[in-house]
Amino acid sequence: MATNDSARSYWATWHDAYDDPESDLTQRLIAVQHRLTDAIDQAPPGAIRVISACAGQGHDVIGVLKSHPRKSEVHTLLVESDDDNVRVARARIAAAGIPGVDVRQADAGNTGTYRDAIPADVLMFCGIFGNVSDEDVRRTVNNASRLCTPQATVLWTRHRRDPDRTDQIRSWFAEVGYEELAFDSPGPDRFALGTLRLAAPPLAYRSDLRLFTSGRNEGDAGSSRPLPPLAVQATYPSPGAAHCYECCGLG
């Protein structure tokens, strides 16, 4: 329940839409939880590593794990920077009695943050791509596999308000070796959720890459600017491709 708003951060109050069962955010949550449940159900026996970047209060992961029969096999890292959300996420995890979920208060845009939690069987980028520049989305897409196991599942979301970038993001993931398992969206102007399987071999982990620098409001952060030309078109595999650390992080 939303209380004492003046004392709560912007990113804490952002989560209040989860209290409304009719909100787009709640509808998105249902879709994300459905795809996350599938990914955990279908994982081979044994430990399953889940990483959620910009995890917020962890509604998606906690909602799934609290009742999932394999919850004791799942090791989860939630990376979140906001004080209020970190506190709420930790309290929710304790209340749900879920083992193996860590909340790390850190910068999710820095690959070094994930050093001891990789490789992820499930990697989640929910609520990020509408808050960062197009260049950052592409850099994140190009480098996500560095955090993944072969065949990992990647979940991503973005709003579909004008300009709707979701087709572009889908093709960027395809270019670097992901197969789309599902694309869930109620339609234009609403949310989109992509569910992917990493079909190409993962790129080697690097601890020194910046994936994104987050903005604040969904729909801001450069999404209305035309896409600039990239120094290197990302293709996978890219034998002999020039390295492009500045722009794409390929290398």
Ligand X SMILES: C[S@@+](CC[C@H](N)C(=O)[O-])C[C@H]1O[C@@H](n2cnc3c(N)ncnc32)[C@H](O)[C@@H]1O
Contact residues: ligand X, CB under 6 A: 11, 14, 54-56, 59, 79-82, 85, 107-109, 126-127, 214
For ligand X, the closer of residues 50 and 177 by Cβ is 50
* Inter-axis angle of helices 134-143 and 166-175, nearest 10: 30
Closest distance of CB 55 from ligand X, Å: 5
Select 77 or 152, whichever has its Cβ closest to ligand X: 77
- Strand duo 148-159 + 191-198: pairing: antiparallel
Task: Between 92 and 170, name the residue whose CB sits nearer to ligand X.
Answer: 92
- Please say which residue, 114 or 173, places its beta carbon nearer to ligand X: 114
Q: What residues have CB less than 8 Å from 34, skipping those under 6 apart?
A: none
User: In the complex with ligand X, which residue's Cβ is closer, 126 or 148?
Assistant: 126
Query: Among candidates 33, 88, 19, which has minimal Cα distance to 64?
Result: 33
CB of 232 to ligand X, least distance (A): 25
Which 8-state DSSP code applies to residue 130? T
Least CB distance to ligand X at residue 229 (A): 26
CA distances from 133 to 64, 217, 228 (A): 30, 12, 11
| Shortest Å distance, C-beta 210 to ligand X | 10
Cβ proximity to ligand X: between 221 and 234 the closer is: 221
In the DSSP assignment, the letter for residue 242 is: P
State the Cα–Cα distance between residues 135 and 80, nearest whole angstrom.
22
Residue 82 Cβ, how far from ligand X at the closest point, in Å?
A: 3
The number of beta carbons lying within 10 Å of the beta carbon of residue 91 is 12
3-state class (DSSP) for residue 245:
coil
User: Are 83 and 9 within 8 A, CB to CB?
Assistant: yes
Q: Which of 3, 1, 10, 5 has its CA nearest to residue 127?
A: 10
CB of 59 to ligand X, least distance (A): 5
